[in-house]
Every structure is written in structure tokens, then in C-alpha cells.
Structure 1
Amino acid sequence: MTEQSFYHIGFGKQDLGSQPPTIALLSGDPQRAGLIAQTYLQDVKVLSENRGLHSYLGYLPNGQPILSATSGMGAPSLSIVVNELVQVGIQKIIRIGTCGSIQPYIPVGSIVISKAALCRQGAANDIAPVEYPAAADPFITVALVQAARALQIEHYLGITASVDTFYEGQERTDSANPYLMRRLIGITEEYRHLHILNYEMETGTLLKMAGVYNFAAASVCAVVAQRTMGEEVILNKKDIAIENAILTAINAIKYLDI
């Protein structure tokens, strides 16, 4: 196992050098994984661009190795990538994602740090029972909050709804399918009253995997849609929101006892 390149991520332990990384920053978007590596890391090496699952090895200014990797969209893709990352030695994963706020007080441009997730995802059910908690690592979560405070980034800590679909599962009707199943009609309002902060598509499965696989994981998401006002992504605020999430994750690492 130590000398093989894994089928999906396209690299193996032998590609990580004499000081292999134990922390991965995981993005759904391959362009975001590349942006993180090229903007915030040094001496960057492209590990793989296999199947659109781009991965990069780079270093923080203090010399600490960091893996910037792509999970792909949705829990099934993430479950494959995370399984293989754990096999190459990753022990901590911070998801840097995007999300839609479902609370009126959380604006586009801010970030949501997940302390736990309501996990409505089929992939997670293959890994652990429905009742198995999807809880973030408390130490990484506190580090994310500390970093956001130090950077004066508007941030919110709470529960995330992780669902499998972008349209129907998040109660969007402005799509090719405006007819939702009855169990989904009104679900956003229900979640709002349960004090859930946001919708996204990967965090719940990541957190369940962390519990089962025995690694540490947390999630910070850029708010790019305000679902109490509309269904659309607010493109003119997307970049600053993503930058806020990335800066929070990068700076959180210095608060961790590695």
C-alpha cells in the first residue's frame, strides 16, 4: 500500500516526501484547491490532476507541509477522496466550502463554522448508522473561531444541514424540476426553527467519516447565498466570502497542537 498511487486521488505516500503532510485543506472545487496552494502555500508541487480531483503539496512559511485537495461535489465523491487521503497518512481535514444561509441574520460574505451537522446523505449511511453523530472536532473548531476573531471576519458557529442535492434537497423550485416531493416542502422553515444555520452538501459525511475512521475534521463554509431572500448564488460577493473562509482555515492551523 505504501508504494501505490491511489486510483482516484492519483498519488500515494511515495509522492509526499520525507516530511509528509498530516493536514489537508479540502475543497469541492478544483480551482479553489489550486488557489489555496498557489496563493497561501510555498514550494508547491502538483500531486495529481486526476479526474478533476486536483491535489497539491505545499508549505506554510514555518515549513509545515499542507495538502490542498479537491473532494469533488457531493458526499459520494468526498467519501472516496477522504478514504484515500486517510490511507496516505492525513490525520486532520478542514473542509473549505460554500453554503447558503437559511437564517436571516447570516449575510452573504460571512462564514459559517460547523460544530455539527444534520446529515441527510446516503453516502454517510454506508459508513455509519443514521443515528451516528456528525460532530466536528472541538479543537479544530475552536481554532477556526479563534482565527476568524483574530482576522475580524464575520462568522457564525452552529449546526449545518448537509444534504445530497443542490436543488430539490435544499428546497429550490427555480430549476428544471419545480415540483418538490411533499416531504421537502417547508423543510427549510423547519430547519430554521431548529436553529440550523446553512445548507451545503459535504460536511455531514466528512464528520461521520472522521468518527468512524478516527481522524479529526472540521468545516468552514463561505456564505454565497441568502435563502431567506432568494435561491440564487450572489456572485458579486462570492469571492470575498471564499477568501474569508480560506484565510480562516489557513490561520486556524497555527492554533493547533500539531
Structure 2
Amino acid sequence: MTIHIGAAPGDIAQTVLMPGDPYRARWAAETFLDTPRLVNEVRGMLGYTGTWRGQPVTIHGSGMGMASLSIYANELIRDYGAKTLIRIGSAGAMQPHINIRDVVLAMAATTLSTPSSGIMRELSFAPTADWSLLHAAWQAATTRGVTAHAGNIYSSDVFYDERPDLNEQMTRHGVLAVEMEAAELYIVAARYGVRALAVLTISDHLLTGAAIPSEEREKSFGEMVEIALQAAFPDA
């Protein structure tokens, strides 16, 4: 048990999927895992552990933003022995060739700042995904016939952005999409020597204004969860 996670020793699997929304964690666990059981609900941040094709999996909410995710990623790795952490979440497209409901696999994550910036000081650290997870996720998406894009994303530390000039430069430099957590996840994973990946569903488009209706989001996110699970267990 930690300050933010009430799970008992052995309750957390070595493979953890991390949606931002705790209710999406519950939906994903009940939809994709066999015999899921609630292992954490401290501060309303839900975590469930079950199995997928016989493999132990925990699906645990991260909260919104890098500061929140950093808390849970640190404790899941340091105190519960998590070895593979995959963010599953939504993102806003920043390139015209990316469409609503496409999946983006984050090879790298550009950011202005993260909670780990104080450690890095003057160093401009480049947060990147684990290659084995990225490769397996790409293969899973291809096998499933899902339109996927792999490349650089932007992890923003604010939701209501007031920098259209910055967005323009990121679009110009090929950044695929924007979200709010992956960069810190990749840095924390690097610090502890574990694997991390962000698998993201495009829920809205910064250039066109298109968006998935709220009532359709869970159905649209299903492919993302399956890709994440297959990436974690490519031989299952």
C-alpha cells in the first residue's frame, strides 16, 4: 500500500495499462479482462487486475496531466514492481493526413516541461517509447487492419492552450498529435529501466475541428485497448 494506491502486495500485475479516466479503466477491465477485480479506489482512482489470454494485467487510471500520471507511474513501478506500462488514451490530431478514430503510436514525446524537468535541469531529455512495445503495437494494428501512425507527439502541460503559434510550429515539424501524459511516462520508465508506450486514439482534430461524439468514444477506443494488450503479450 502506498499513499495513493491501496492495493495489497501482489494485487498489481507487472503489465499495467493506464487510461487517464478512472471510469475508462473500469470499462476496459470489465470489457477486456477475465475475472477483473477492484484493487484500488483511493481518491477515486480506480485500478483493476484480471487476466487477458491467461496473462495477468492491471488497468489503472492515471488522472489527467503529467503531474498526476507521474505519481501513479512512480508508485506502480517502485512499490508494486510494474515492468510494462502502456498509456491508453485520446489525442488531438495535428496533421491533415490523420483522421478521427485513427491510432497514433508515440515513438517520442515533445514537451515544454514535465514534473521531471527539475531532475534534468538544463538537459533537453528526449522521452522515447520502448522499441519492442512499439514494434509489437505496429504489428498488432496492421494485423487488425487499424489505420495507425507512428511518430512524435506533443505532451502538453495545459489543456486550454493559448499558444496557436506553437501548435503551428509543431504541425510544421511533423508532430502527429497532442495529449497530456506520455512524456512523463516515458521519462519515469527510463529512470527505472522499464518499458513504456503510449497508444492513442484520435478523438478530435485540431485542424478540422472534427471530433468523436461522446457517446461513441468507448466503442472507438476498443481497438486501442486490444492493440495495447497484444503489444504487451505478442505471443499470447
Verify same fold: TM over 0.5: yes
Which residue does the alignment assign to 1:106?
A: 98
Secondary structure at 1:44 match in 2? strand
Which residue does the alignment assign to 1:235?
A: 213
Which residue does the alignment assign to 1:218?
A: 197
Measured in 2, the distance between the counterparts of 1:12 and 1:132 equals 34
Q: CA deviation at 1:250?
A: 1.7
Contact 2:100/2:211 (CA < 8 Å) preserved in 1? no
Q: Gaps spanning 5+ residues in structure 2: where?
A: none
**TM-score scaled by length of structure 1:** 0.85
Which has the higher mean CA deviation after the structures are superposed, 77-86 or 117-126?
117-126
Which residue does the alignment assign to 2:65?
A: 74
Q: CA deviation at 1:245?
A: 1.0
Q: CA deviation at 1:120?
A: 2.1
Which residue does the alignment assign to 1:251?
A: 230
Measured in 2, the distance between the counterparts of 1:241 and 1:107 equals 13
Measured in 1, the distance between the counterparts of 2:21 and 2:108 equals 22
Secondary structure at 2:233 match in 1? helix
Measured in 1, the distance between the counterparts of 2:114 and 2:55 equals 35
Q: Gaps spanning 5+ residues in structure 1: where?
A: 169-179
Contact 1:161/1:199 (CA < 8 Å) preserved in 2? yes
Contact 1:108/1:241 (CA < 8 Å) preserved in 2? no
One-letter identity of the residue aligned with 1:122: T
Contact 2:22/2:45 (CA < 8 Å) preserved in 1? yes
Q: CA deviation at 1:220?
A: 0.5
2:74 aligns with one of 58, 80, 83: 83
Give the length in aligned residue pairs: 233
Contact 2:21/2:61 (CA < 8 Å) preserved in 1? yes
- CA deviation string 1:31-85 (max 9, x = no partner): 1111111111112111011112111110112x21101101000000100001110
Which residue does the alignment assign to 2:125?
A: 132
- CA deviation string 1:132-163 (max 9, x = no partner): 12010000011110110111111110101001
The alignment-based identity, stated in percent, is: 30
Contact 2:108/2:129 (CA < 8 Å) preserved in 1? yes
Flag the structure with larger Rg: 1
